[in-house]
């Protein structure tokens, strides 16, 4: 059973490599400006045939309830009290100027983008307030658009905040989540597959109340249900038809959060603006967040250019995991150092092996023993790298702890290669089969200084084991396209970890496809273990099933563990301030808890 997710692995391919921004269509040259919405607007009409369309969907049941079907004895909770986010000393105002070292988006579609968009995490996922949020410290559910919720069996009920509004001023209503599901279904969005795979019924009771019935009882059901639902404002999507992708590619969509896209300068800048009087600004768990009036993302060619602009006062901050760059610039007297250790799950960097092309497990195991990842991590991180042991690290007591370690071992590598039929050594030192087939595989990746050095080290160690690894550097979109099509042998890969629980089915199940499934695995034993994860009704049973999945990842030899980067370093202008609590530093931009001194601001990037 596949657990798909919105944030694709292609985004991480870009994040981890520092590639130059990708130029978009030449016709997209004019800056775009959003209309400022400060007034409260009435709700827009839904498409006249929306419920008829929803009723015809074969994959799941989406309906309007007939009163009085809402149970009257539900145990509603508001998830309080919890530690407030941000800092009570924070002040509102100012513009944060940061950078994006990655490809410029070629569309601004919230639903149904035909290609992965690296920047959509900043533009939408981190702006959107979901029904419920996961508290970054306690990891428990806290209010989002829903002010309260209740769980009964496999069904989670949500009651929306009475004053919740989109950034365009229109109210957020329960049926907006049904419209969001319809838009995902029309566009074959990955979120639609996740919804109908994990849920069997969405029911709308009134303008503020809805429920989602999951197919299985799962731990933390309220957060799992919230993750599957996304609101769509009917006025904005009133013209969504068969030409949706072309019609809406450059429109600036409203969000449920505090910020909306204000301006787009193609290839150069995307500016987010906080709307006036956003609906949650005075609520507990919101009131010390989203402090900046605007956030500017300047698209730069590489991190070296970002450091240059920071030193010139044209950016306010650079967040890095590059220790060499940090040591080079961190002594600047005009900048402030911030170091912290993130305790949340981090992307599992490593090498994914395509089991549909490398069908012999002995061959895959030989390749894993032939690539010296330990040496690569030591050299690249100068002793600070943290080698991964489990694919699912960072989940506290759920993290598997007894998965065997993957080691570089030339003798074991050659023994496994021999079992796979590569028992003869050719004149070039590369192992061969009796029919002359050379032991040669291709490793595709998006080039950057660090990743290119990694590939060089792995290729060198593999050659000493009789293996030829041919480096295949590609622009990130082409690399992602190749992975989606399953045309790779090996690929340098990572993904954004799911929270609050891992979702292994989206990577390893036989039905998993696309950016999230570079392993292309078809294995009945793995599918059974994943089914146990998907249907686990308690955290201990989930942890047991997850440990079995992690053992199978090792046994099937489909992933060479790389590293995790928990140590985060930020060099920033003295005008920026951050919360004093280290627990709040789960990401300095993503949580929007920083604030700006009220001093006069400097100009932006020229």
For 447-476, how does the pLDDT look when each residue is reduced to its tens digit (9 = 90+)? 988 899 999 999 999 999 999 999 999 987
Mean pLDDT of 77-92: 89
| Whole-number pLDDT of residue 322 | 76
State the DSSP string of 171-219: BP-THHHHHHHHHHHHTT-HHHHHHHHHEEEEEE-SSSEEEEEESS--T
| Whole-number pLDDT of residue 332 | 80
Mean pLDDT of 337-353: 87
Other CB atoms closer than 10 Å to residue 135's CB: what's the count? 16
**Cβ proximity of 394 and 345 under 8 Å:** yes
Tell me the C-alpha distance between 249 and 603, whole Å. 30
| Whole-number pLDDT of residue 11 | 38
Instruction: Evaluate if residue 434 carries a pLDDT over 90.
Output: yes
SS3 content of the chain, % helix, strand, coil (to 5): 25, 20, 55
- Residue 99, strand partner residues: 298
Strand residue runs (E) in 245-404: 259-265, 269-274, 294-299, 317-320, 336-341, 350-353, 386-387
| Whole-number pLDDT of residue 32 | 40
Q: Do domains 21-68+91-300 and 350-564 have the same CATH topology?
A: no
My answer on whether omega of the bond before 188 falls inside 30° of 0, hence cis, is no
Tell me the pLDDT band of 79, cut-offs 50, 70 and 90: confident
| Whole-number pLDDT of residue 200 | 95
Through-space distance between the first and last CA atoms of the chain, rounded to whole angstroms = 50
Tell me the pLDDT band of 33, cut-offs 50, 70 and 90: very low
| Whole-number pLDDT of residue 118 | 72
Average pLDDT of the chain, as a whole number: 87
Tell me the C-alpha distance between 354 and 517, whole Å. 9
CATH of region 21-68+91-300: 3.40.190.10
For 135-144, how does the pLDDT look when each residue is reduced to its tens digit (9 = 90+)? 887 888 999 9
My answer on whether omega of the bond before 68 falls inside 30° of 0, hence cis, is yes
Residues ≥6 apart with Cβ < 8 Å to 604: 95, 97, 296, 298, 314
Could you give phi then psi for residue 181, rounded to 5 degrees?
-65, -40
Q: Answer whether 0.75 is exceeded by the pTM.
A: yes
Helix (H) or strand (E) holding 484: helix 476-484
CA nearest to 289, candidates 606, 599, 598, 579: 579
Instruction: Evaluate if residue 34 carries a pLDDT over 50.
Output: no
Instruction: Evaluate if residue 1 carries a pLDDT over 60.
Output: no
**Cβ proximity of 499 and 345 under 8 Å:** yes
Instruction: Evaluate if residue 28 carries a pLDDT over 60.
Output: no
Tell me the pLDDT band of 35, cut-offs 50, 70 and 90: very low
State the DSSP string of 352-373: EE-TTTS--HHHHHHHHHHS-H
Tell me the C-alpha distance between 313 and 331, whole Å. 15
Instruction: Evaluate if residue 281 carries a pLDDT over 90.
Output: yes
Q: What percent of the chain has pLDDT over 70?
A: 90
**Four-residue CA torsion sign, 69, 70, 71, 72:** negative
Tell me the C-alpha distance between 150 and 132, whole Å. 12
Tell me the C-alpha distance between 349 and 492, whole Å. 7
- Domain 350-564 CATH (choose: 3.90.1280.20, 3.30.420.40, 3.90.75.20, 3.10.105.10): 3.10.105.10
| Whole-number pLDDT of residue 38 | 53
State the DSSP string of 431-469: EE-TT--B-EEEEEE---HHHHHHHHHHHHHHHTTT-EE
| Whole-number pLDDT of residue 14 | 38
580: alpha, beta or left? (left if phi > 0; alpha if psi -120 to 50): alpha
| Whole-number pLDDT of residue 9 | 38
Instruction: Evaluate if residue 603 carries a pLDDT over 60.
Output: no
Secondary structure class of 539 (helix, strand, coil): helix
Residues ≥6 apart with Cβ < 8 Å to 41: 168, 169, 170
User: 346-368: b or e for each residue (b if 16 or more CB lie within 10 Å)?
Assistant: bbbbbbbbbbeebebbbbbbbbb
Q: Kindly list the domain boundaries of the chain, sorted by start residue.
A: 21-68+91-300, 350-564
């Amino acid at each position: 059973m596949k657990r798909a997710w919105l944030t694709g692995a292609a985004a991480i391919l870009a994040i981890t490599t520092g590639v130059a921004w990708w130029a978009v269509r030449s016709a997209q040259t004019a800056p775009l400006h959003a209309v400022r919405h400060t007034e409260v607007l009435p709700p827009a009409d839904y498409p006249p045939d929306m419920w008829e369309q929803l009723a015809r969907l074969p994959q799941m049941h989406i309906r309007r309830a007939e009163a009085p079907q809402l149970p009257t004895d539900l145990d509603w909770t508001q998830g309080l009290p919890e530690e407030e986010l941000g800092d009570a000393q924070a002040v509102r105002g100012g513009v944060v100027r940061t950078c994006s070292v990655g490809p410029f988006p070629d569309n601004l579609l919230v639903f149904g983008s035909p290609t992965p968009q690296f920047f959509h995490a900043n533009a939408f996922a981190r702006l959107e307030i979901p029904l419920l949020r996961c508290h970054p410290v306690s990891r428990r559910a806290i209010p989002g658009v829903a002010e309260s919720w209740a769980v009964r069996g496999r069904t989670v009920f949500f009651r929306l905040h009475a004053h919740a509004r989109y950034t365009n001023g229109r109210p957020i209503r329960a049926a907006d989540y049904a419209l969001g599901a319809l838009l995902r279904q029309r566009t074959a969005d990955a979120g639609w597959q996740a919804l109908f795979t994990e849920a069997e019924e969405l029911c709308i009771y009134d303008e503020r109340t809805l429920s989602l019935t999951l197919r299985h009882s799962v731990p933390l059901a309220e957060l799992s249900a919230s993750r599957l639902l996304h609101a769509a404002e009917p006025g904005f999507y009133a013209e969504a038809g068969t030409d949706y992708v072309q019609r809406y590619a450059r429109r600036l969509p409203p969000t449920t959060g505090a910020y909306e896209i204000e301006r787009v300068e193609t290839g150069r800048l995307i500016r987010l603006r906080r709307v006036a009087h956003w609906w949650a600004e005075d609520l507990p768990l919101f009131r010390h967040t989203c402090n900046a009036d605007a956030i500017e993302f300047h698209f730069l060619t590489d991190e070296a250019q970002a450091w240059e602009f920071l030193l010139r006062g044209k950016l306010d901050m650079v967040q890095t995991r590059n220790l060499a760059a940090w040591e080079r610039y961190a002594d600047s007297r005009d900048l402030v150092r911030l170091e912290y250790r993130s305790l949340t799950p981090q992307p599992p960097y490593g090498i994914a092996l395509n089991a549909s092309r490398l069908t012999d497990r002995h061959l895959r195991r030989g390749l894993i023993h032939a690539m010296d990842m330990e040496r690569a991590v030591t050299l690249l991180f100068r002793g600070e790298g943290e080698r991964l042991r489990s694919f699912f690290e960072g989940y506290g007591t759920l993290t598997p702890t007894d998965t065997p370690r993957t080691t570089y071992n030339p003798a074991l590598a050659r023994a496994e290669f021999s079992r796979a039929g590569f028992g003869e050594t050719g004149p070039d030192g590369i192992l061969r089969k009796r029919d002359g087939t050379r032991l040669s595989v291709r490793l595709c990746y998006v080039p950057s200084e660090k990743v290119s050095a990694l590939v060089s080290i792995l290729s060198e160690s593999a050659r000493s084991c009789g293996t030829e690894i041919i480096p295949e550097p590609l622009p990130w979109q082409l690399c992602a396209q190749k992975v989606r099509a399953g045309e790779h042998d090996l690929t340098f890969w990572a993904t954004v970890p799911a929270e609050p629980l891992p979702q292994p089915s989206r990577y390893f199940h036989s039905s998993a496809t696309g950016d999230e499934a570079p392993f292309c695995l078809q294995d009945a034993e793995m599918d059974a273990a994943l089914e146990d994860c998907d249907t686990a009704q308690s955290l201990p049973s989930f942890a047991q099933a997850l440990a079995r999945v992690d053992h199978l990842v090792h046994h099937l030899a489909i992933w060479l563990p790389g590293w995790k980067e928990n140590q985060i370093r930020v060099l920033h202008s003295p005008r920026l301030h951050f919360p004093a609590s280290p627990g709040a530093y789960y990401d300095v931009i993503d949580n929007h808890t920083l604030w700006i001194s009220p001093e006069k601001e400097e100009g932006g990037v020229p």
